[in-house]
Amino acid sequence: MAGPKKSSGQLMFHTSLTGGIFLKTMHPDSAVKMPNPSSFAPAHGNLTRRVFEDFLSAHNKLAELVENSRKLDLNANKISSPVTSLMKFSFGEVLLILTYHEKRHLLQAQRVMEHPGFPL
């Protein structure tokens, strides 16, 4: 965010039409399967402890971002999508998108651990 706007004290935010649709498809309980943009495709290779460490680091950064969000306006601050600059989301929408995305990864990890061949 360039020049983030400080919070006015309003903790509620409103979703845009695009943001609302995107959030519904990203929700962990959504039946809609969104394909991964090729730029975000995971590298093929052996799973190592480094994968867990990277996830934990990203999780800690997200927790810090949520904590710092109290100081920022959830509606007025807009962030461009990393996929296309044509899509912009409010800071509040971004926090939900990141939370849903992390939950999806946790559910994915849980499914992998329940696989009969786990651990590899």
pLDDT at 106: 86
- Residue 101, number of CB atoms within 10 A of its CB: 13
pLDDT tens-digit map of 17-57: 999 998 998 898 888 877 777 777 766 666 677 887 888 89
Q: What is the pTM of this model?
A: 0.77
pLDDT at 81: 87
Which distant-in-sequence residues (6+ apart) come within 8 Å of 103 by Cβ? 28
Element spanning 97, H or E:
helix 91-113
pLDDT at 31: 85
Q: How confident is the model at residue 85 (pLDDT cuts 50, 70, 90)?
A: confident
How far apart, in whole angstroms, are the C-alpha atoms of residue 109 and residue 98?
17
